[in-house]
Structure 1
């Protein structure tokens, strides 16, 4: 059977090479063959591509070395993954024979669908049912020609087997095995035929339809991204901070070298007596919580009669090289004290999102140890982790070698946010890298105007020393949950001292802070605690306004001792969880006061610095 399949496929390659080449070599109007006029046209397209590349090369040669962007090329990650993949038993004769047999079987089966070979079944070319399905190959062009059908089916087979081999490797520690599986998935995703122009029939057809213009646009998109050192997801000119994104009215009421504090204008006559201070992750821009009027958590909270303060972290530069864990925890404590003093209130509600939730837990522990726990009336954690034993795929980036690499990437004391963006993108490579390679580079499509993608690409630099400490002490060594193993501001940290009422939100499909990891905070805090599981992931699970009517959330009124027990006894609710949180907040203290005086930032006698969203969020 293998011999027959090989002979069939050899003949098939001869026949189909001509057909596949026709898609690229013809690139001519339907029904017309190559002619002098067409040859001139495609020569012009080739000339334009060459000219664009030459201009780019000259441009780079004329730039000073320090001005050249450090392009966060996914292929650099693939090269690293390739070294790890060498651990697979690909040289095992039994493994090779099994793979060969499976390859021949797939070829014979697929070719049979096209009337070729001993298993020939039918000759029509529409709606064929092929053995393996994947949304990357959903377009009918992948099935219309035998060459591309066999190509993507073999790719899917070999991808499955490569991942299976990685999962089956024995004799290595679990962390190394997880890293191996992740590396293999990363590599096979990168090698998809959908990612290359001559093996992507959709891109070839697009070139044919546009008579080469898609090739030119795609090449221009590629070089534009190389200039900025970052893959583009959305139109660069579609959004302007303070104009059509991050537009909730407010003022910057305080600033330090590390952050600005924004206070938003009230929209109700009465507001909760206890204000809210939000600590967003310093690894991203704060306006994920203030994208636009419909999606803004900030605007919605203000409309619920809550006085909202937002921290806007400064993007790191060389002056922040010595910033550490102590500084971020100190900034949180300073913000809490500033708001208390500004509004003359004994305590504040707090929210910590992602990594800022991790430091908020440490902040609460410090306050508890120093007898100042009453400064915080409640703490809400958005997808935040304190126990990193099950911290998901990001743990694949925290071994000694990779932590050491961060030092080489940050000679001036800060990490370029483009490297961090590439890391997060590769966690969902097919969605955030390779689908855009196909759309933007191979098909030359226009960029969409999508606020969430704009935020995702609005990178923030980080202090290198602090980032290395964070990865080593928390992700790798998991020291935060070991009582008194870490300290901040000279105070040992013990999370079990936290008796503040807490609200813990996790995303069911979160790949950055998996719900099983977020749940672990429930084991350490000793005060009143509420856990909520939201539909979707790290961003959409949080940014889900009631008006969207999307997703759902789960609650459990019992006392489950594990996430599994929570889920087993959970009640599902449709839509946004935000009203549930608001009700919880008011249940702690529903007292209200008039929204006057310094509850309205910038009013008579109130000196402010500038309008929201402030300078820091605009600093690159």
Structure 2
């Protein structure tokens, strides 16, 4: 901590940098800065006019942000007391700001900075930048609280207002603009303007790469090759149909447990997040424990699969993979894992199996997966009427497919500070070329989704919550998760912005058998993929299953490090007796990681309308 403070204190101030310039140099720099700032403003406009949620507001507002804002405005107009309270909060915020600035001018100790966007020392030491930051914070707090003052506002409009207000306040952060970002101005002064000029070159390269539309590069993808330096666990493809490839991994032990483990990853991303590098590979860790591990690799939707339905994913995905894994391993039962939407599909299929006396799945584990969507978070913005209509229009324009590029944009805009504006600043303002990072390579390696599958997910699961209510239809039957009586473990991540902790916790209450719940720290990816050797984060176990996750956490025990060993202690006795290990059979389908995983979005031509 002290080292960071020393490093920040050593940074030259903007005043000292300006004092070092002679008048002619200063005039040239200021002229260049004015031109660069104009280009920067245009660049921000290009970012906002993209496919993110805010961009839709400039494209006819198909997601109904204007409707939500109008509802709040009309509500407050009809409730003068609430409007007065909101404005009093704004007034108190500004009075507090003036008082704070006055006290610090008299020598009082400034408050510590907690927002990482404002970590540059100029935000604390330069009175002008400090005032800009504090004013932004006061106005942001007031804007974010307006919807809460509106009484009797429908829940969907309240959620939509909060979501779009958050997007707008994030956009307005002074760090996003060259003229009010001291870090960018310092880099500009130190480089003689080269930082911004290089940033413009990077922006134009991103526009060219995306065929005329700005697509922010988060990483240098050139060093990575699937099967060569990522997704390298050895194995064979032992089954293939038009929807999935089933990969069986080679054993590393002389004996293995008789019941294999079959993993259903999400089809929104590719499976190799579970085998990104040797040192953090969950697949390798499980194989080293003596398990025969199978993983489903989903096909990115194209002309062959674009009309597939949820039933097709259950029949040709879950059922087909279970049958093929048992046949390849010689086992009669297996343990299953579902990650994110792969878990949603698995839970419904398990209910269908239970209703038909199919007991081939011995236990199920769910990673960051929802079967109850009552508290599903910000993604619900995309599931009410305007949100689904917007998604429907995208699918129609893309020939019946939900484009992976749009999914990528959506998930980025759920965390815009980290996944959008950070890269706008680092690359386009500071002029830093993106660095190679395997996790971001995986994050950008998106897949297309059959439109019918995505539409049903949004309506029947997110909006109507039919799966948890026992109203979901699958393969011609209405399925009830209470019929799933096999042992279940549900894992959630405390800071997950895609599948929130409380939402995943509700999933732990919907099954009919013995269910364990484990909570990890971190988010949707790092909370799940946390190798024990990394000795990172912590997890919580042993709480009493009650109505809310907060109540569960009060009775849970915290332990350091990864949650995987806790899971293994639960899974091991369910994995059967030991037997001699055998290598995966060569079915003539190729080696792991298979062929479907290597198909990138640019390889698929959609019949755009």
Q: What SS does the aligned partner of 1:194 have?
A: helix
Correspondences of 1:458-607 after superposition (within 5 Å): 458-483=445-470, 485-556=471-542, 560=546, 562-596=548-582, 600-602=583-585, 606-607=586-587
Alignment partner, residue 7 of structure 2: none
TM-score (normalised: structure 2): 0.85
Correspondences of 1:387-398 after superposition (within 5 Å): 387-398=372-383
Distance 2:103 2:17 in 1: 29
Deviation of the 1:473 alpha carbon: 0.7
Q: Which moved further from structure 2: 268-277 or 565-574? A: 565-574
Distance 2:117 2:167 in 1: 15
Correspondences of 1:188-199 after superposition (within 5 Å): 188-199=169-180
8 A contact 1:365–1:494 mirrored in 2: yes
Q: How many residues align?
A: 565
Correspondences of 1:204-603 after superposition (within 5 Å): 204-226=185-207, 227-228=209-210, 230-330=215-315, 331-372=317-358, 374-410=359-395, 411=397, 412-483=399-470, 485-556=471-542, 560=546, 562-596=548-582, 600-602=583-585
Distance 1:45 1:203 in 2: 11
8 A contact 2:509–2:545 mirrored in 1: no
Alignment partner, residue 616 of structure 1: 596
Distance 1:147 1:366 in 2: 63
Structure 1 residues 248, 71: CA separation in 2 closer, same or farther (over 3 Å shift)? farther
8 A contact 2:343–2:367 mirrored in 1: yes
Distance 1:274 1:206 in 2: 58
Structure 1 residues 200, 567: CA separation in 2 closer, same or farther (over 3 Å shift)? same
Q: What SS does the aligned partner of 2:469 have?
A: coil
Q: Which moved further from structure 2: 528-537 or 356-365? A: 528-537
Distance 1:365 1:96 in 2: 48
Structure 1 residues 549, 84: CA separation in 2 closer, same or farther (over 3 Å shift)? same
Correspondences of 1:22-101 after superposition (within 5 Å): 31-35=20-24, 71-73=50-52, 75-77=54-56, 79=58, 80=61, 81=65, 84-89=68-73, 94=84, 98=88, 101=91
Distance 2:145 2:113 in 1: 16
Map Cα deviations across residues 243-286 of structure 1 (whole Å, 9 max, x no partner).
22111111222211111111111111111111111100001111
Gaps of 5+ in 2: 1-12, 43-48, 601-609
Q: What SS does the aligned partner of 1:523 have?
A: coil
Structure 1 residues 155, 177: CA separation in 2 closer, same or farther (over 3 Å shift)? same
Distance 1:109 1:238 in 2: 53
8 A contact 1:128–1:143 mirrored in 2: no
Alignment partner, residue 137 of structure 1: 118
Alignment partner, residue 95 of structure 2: 105
Q: Could you tell me which of 163, 168, 176 is aligned with 2:149? A: 168
Distance 1:193 1:451 in 2: 30
Distance 1:430 1:251 in 2: 40
Distance 2:191 2:318 in 1: 55
8 A contact 2:543–2:554 mirrored in 1: no
Distance 1:104 1:44 in 2: 35
Alignment partner, residue 64 of structure 1: none
Distance 1:47 1:346 in 2: 70
CA RMSD of aligned residues (A): 3.1
Q: What SS does the aligned partner of 2:246 have?
A: strand
8 A contact 1:78–1:186 mirrored in 2: no
Q: Which moved further from structure 2: 84-93 or 328-337? A: 84-93
Distance 1:474 1:146 in 2: 51
Distance 1:436 1:51 in 2: 16
8 A contact 1:49–1:219 mirrored in 2: no
Deviation of the 1:96 alpha carbon: 8.6
Q: What SS does the aligned partner of 2:526 have?
A: coil
8 A contact 1:166–1:184 mirrored in 2: no
Structure 1 residues 95, 570: CA separation in 2 closer, same or farther (over 3 Å shift)? closer
Deviation of the 1:39 alpha carbon: 6.1
Q: Which has the larger radius of gyration?
A: 1
Distance 2:401 2:353 in 1: 29
Structure 1 residues 390, 560: CA separation in 2 closer, same or farther (over 3 Å shift)? closer
Distance 2:237 2:415 in 1: 35
Structure 1 residues 255, 142: CA separation in 2 closer, same or farther (over 3 Å shift)? same
TM-score (normalised: structure 1): 0.84
Q: What SS does the aligned partner of 1:294 have?
A: helix
Q: Which moved further from structure 2: 515-524 or 81-90? A: 81-90
8 A contact 2:52–2:410 mirrored in 1: no
8 A contact 1:495–1:524 mirrored in 2: yes
Deviation of the 1:146 alpha carbon: 2.5
